[in-house]
Structures are given as C-alpha cells and as structure tokens.
C-alpha cells in the first residue's frame, strides 16, 4: 500500500491550489514545499493582478493565505527537498534530502521555475555581494546608491520601479531597443524620473575592483560592439526563468527548453503524474494561471485515483500495471 494517495511537490500558487482542491476532495494530500517555500511570489512586492484584491496584495501575504487555506482543509505541508523520484514503478517513490522516502499513487509536480543568470562568470561570483535576482530581498541594501537592472520584460521593469524606493538612480540595461514588458509597466518606467535606459546593450562584465563588492559594470553595445564602463553599486538580473525539472529528466517528457509537456489538461506522459504552474507553462506564467492549472491538476488526479483499482497487494503494481492504469489522454 502506498504511503499516500497524492503528493504535491512545490508550494507556489500551483502547488497550494492543487493541495486545496485535493484536500477538499478528501484525498489528504501531502505537500512537500521545497527549498524556496512559497515560490516566486515570496520575492515580489505588490501583486495587483490577482483577482479579488481590489488594491492589490503583497506576494508573501497571498502565499501565506493560500497555504493557510490548504492546511485548513487538511493538507499536510512538510519542509523538505525531493532529491530523487522513481516514476517507473507504482506506487511512485520520492526520496528526500534528509534520507527519508515515501510512496504515492498520484503525483502533482508544481516545482516552478528559477531566476536565470547572465552567461558571464562575474555575475554569479558576485551573487550576494552586489549582484541579485531579487529586488524585494536585497533592494534595501542599496539605499542612496546607483544600481542597474538587466532585462526588458515585466519583471525587470517591476523591479526597476520598486528599486527606485531605495536607489539614487536605476539604469535598465536591455539588449534590444524595445521593451517586452506590458504597456502599463513601460509607461511607468519610461516616465519615472529615477529610471534611465541603456538600449541595445548587455553586461560584458561586473567589476569588483575593491573587496569583492560590485563597483561597476562594463556594458557592450550589441550593435556597435563598443564598450563603456558604468560605475554603480548593485546589479539586479531579471531576464526570465528556467523550469525546475532536472529531477524528472529521463522519466517525464520535457520540451527543448526543459518545461514539462502536458496534454489533455495537466497529464504528463506518465499516468498518475500531473504537472501544474510555471514548470509546464512558458507562455502565461502568471500567479492566476498557475493557480488555475493547480486546480486542474487536482481534479485530473482525483479522476485518475477514482479509476485506480485497489489490488490485494499494492506493493508491486508493476505486474498488473496494464490493468491498473486508466486510459491516459
Ligand atoms: P520575460 O518576459 O521572458 O522577459 C525576459 C527579458 O529578459 C526580456 O526582455 C529578454 O530580452 C531579456 N533577456 C533574456 N535573456 C537575456 C540575456 N541572456 N541577457 C540579457 N537579457 C536577456 O521574463 P519576465 O520579465 O520574468 O516575465 C515572465 C512572465 O511573467 C511574463 O509573462 C510577464 O508578463 C509575467 N510577469 C508579470 C508581472 C505583472 O504582471 N506584474 C510581473 C512580472 C512578470 P528580449 O526582450 O530581447 O527577449
């Protein structure tokens, strides 16, 4: 017999919404929150586009509300990091970093995506020493100082606007001459008195001539190749995300960029394994769409479990797998 009917990996909007729905379906879900509990919204400030909050809500407040709601209906949330999964045999086995393992009949993967870094050595080397991927976490350290934000999407402009609360000046460095961000965000950033733009440019190097702290950047114009040094104290990188799928490589089908491939709702190539949120969505990537797909995954998992026969000996379902697995897709 499996330890659990349903386990959810990940505690962002997708994982917690899946947990809420699974709990209300009496499936007693276990949610493993992962290293970055709460996901990307823990690193944001005001979320103005999550329905139901007229004046917006702070990202961490939204996540703690989602978690409390999921727990209220019976979700068991545990800290922990899954280091290995075996999805070839049923029930599925999950191994955790603390050495424990567990089995489950159904699995919802909601491991999200992580911030991308530049393809230069100096940014990671100076991570925590003036280079950051989280304005909310680190903005305060740059009070009265000039800083740069890299990227031209909503994240970059949102961070740039937020950082004007602390920094003396924010320079947005974008590799093209037009922004990818939404019009409303562009209007705010382009007219902000503390924000400047360097167009058609990328960072060639982050300089740290003194004591391992950022002292400036070398900016390369991608059209002319010319280099210019800009003195500043901090660099915030906001150039998108990479899906957290390394754990599932070779078992769950991924696309070329590493996102989990889903079909017919949230089903993966493995019956009983479902994926929700940013780990399978490189198009919408919103809190509300992640939450929506978490709801779908829980409903898909519930229907899967409803059709799962309960053999006398559940310890080795592999032998009767063909009968046990309902049609998928
Ligand atoms: P994104 O939309 O993919 O934008 C990434 C930006 O980084 C792009 O401007 C891209 O340049 C640039 N970039 C990518 N790789 C780079 C590299 N190696 N060097 C330099 N620049 C690089 O990512 P995002 O801004 O994180 O947004 C992701 C999703 O979340 C979007 O759907 C966005 O609308 C949403 N979002 C919404 C809000 C909000 O509504 N409040 C806030 C944040 C994010 P190119 O433009 O040249 O490709």
- CB of 176 within 6 A of ligand 1: the answer is yes
Structure confidence by residue, pLDDT tens digits, 66-108: 999 999 999 999 999 999 999 999 999 999 999 999 999 999 9
Q: Is 171 helix (H, G, I), strand (E, B) or coil?
A: strand
Q: Catalytic positions, please?
A: 134, 137-138
Q: Where are the alpha helices (DSSP H) in the chain?
A: 13-24, 59-72, 121-125, 135-138, 154-163, 183-190, 287-306, 321-324
Structure confidence by residue, pLDDT tens digits, 152-198: 999 999 999 999 999 999 999 999 999 999 999 999 999 999 999 99
Q: Where are the alpha helices (DSSP H) in 178-286?
A: 183-190
* CA distance to 12, 94, 96, 103, 299, per residue, from 85 (Å): 20, 5, 9, 10, 22
For the CA of 157, the closest atom of ligand 1 is 25
- CB of 47 within 6 A of ligand 1: the answer is no
* Structure-block tokens of residue 53: 């909050």
Instruction: Tell how far the Cα of 327 is from the centroid of ligand 1, in angstroms.
Output: 38
* Structure-block tokens of residue 301: 């998992």
Domains in the chain: ranges and CATH = 4-115+241-324 (3.50.50.60), 122-237 (3.50.50.60)
C-alpha span between 277 and 31 (Å, rounded): 15
- CB of 156 within 6 A of ligand 1: the answer is yes
pTM: 0.77
Give the closest residue to 204 by CA, choosing from 241, 234, 173, 178.
173
Eight-state DSSP code of residue 157: H
């Amino acid at each position: 017999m499996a330890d659990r009917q349903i386990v959810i990996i990940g505690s962002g909007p997708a994982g917690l919404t899946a947990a809420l729905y699974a709990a209300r379906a009496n499936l007693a879900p276990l949610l493993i929150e992962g290293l970055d509990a709460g996901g990307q919204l823990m690193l944001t400030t005001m979320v103005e586009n999550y329905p139901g909050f007229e004046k917006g809500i702070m990202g961490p407040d939204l996540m703690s509300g989602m978690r409390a709601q999921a727990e209220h209906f019976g979700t068991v949330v545990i800290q922990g990091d899954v280091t290995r999964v075996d999805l070839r045999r049923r029930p599925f086995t999950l191994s955790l970093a603390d050495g424990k393992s567990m089995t489950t009949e159904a699995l919802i993967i909601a491991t999200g995506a992580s911030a991308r870094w530049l393809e230069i050595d100096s940014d990671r080397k100076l991570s925590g020493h003036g280079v950051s991927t989280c304005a909310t976490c680190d903005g305060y350290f740059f009070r009265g100082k000039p800083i740069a934000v890299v990227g031209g999407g909503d994240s970059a402009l949102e961070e740039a606007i937020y950082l004007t609360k602390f920094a003396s000046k924010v320079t947005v460095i974008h590799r093209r001459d037009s922004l990818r961000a939404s019009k409303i965000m562009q209007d705010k950033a382009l007219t902000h008195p503390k924000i400047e733009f360097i167009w058609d440019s990328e960072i060639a190097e982050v300089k740290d001539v003194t004591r391992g702290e950022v002292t400036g950047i070398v900016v390369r114009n991608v059209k002319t190749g010319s280099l210019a040094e800009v003195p500043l104290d901090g660099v915030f990188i906001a150039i998108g995300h990479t899906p957290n799928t390394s754990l599932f490589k070779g078992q769950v089908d991924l696309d070329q960029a590493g996102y989990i491939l889903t079909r017919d709702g949230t089903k993966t190539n493995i019956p009983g394994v479902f994926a929700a949120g940013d780990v399978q969505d490189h198009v919408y990537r919103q809190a509300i769409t992640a939450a929506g797909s978490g709801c779908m995954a829980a409903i898909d998992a519930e229907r899967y479990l409803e059709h799962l026969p309960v053999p006398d000996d559940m310890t080795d379902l592999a032998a009767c797998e063909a009968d046990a697995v309902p049609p998928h897709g």
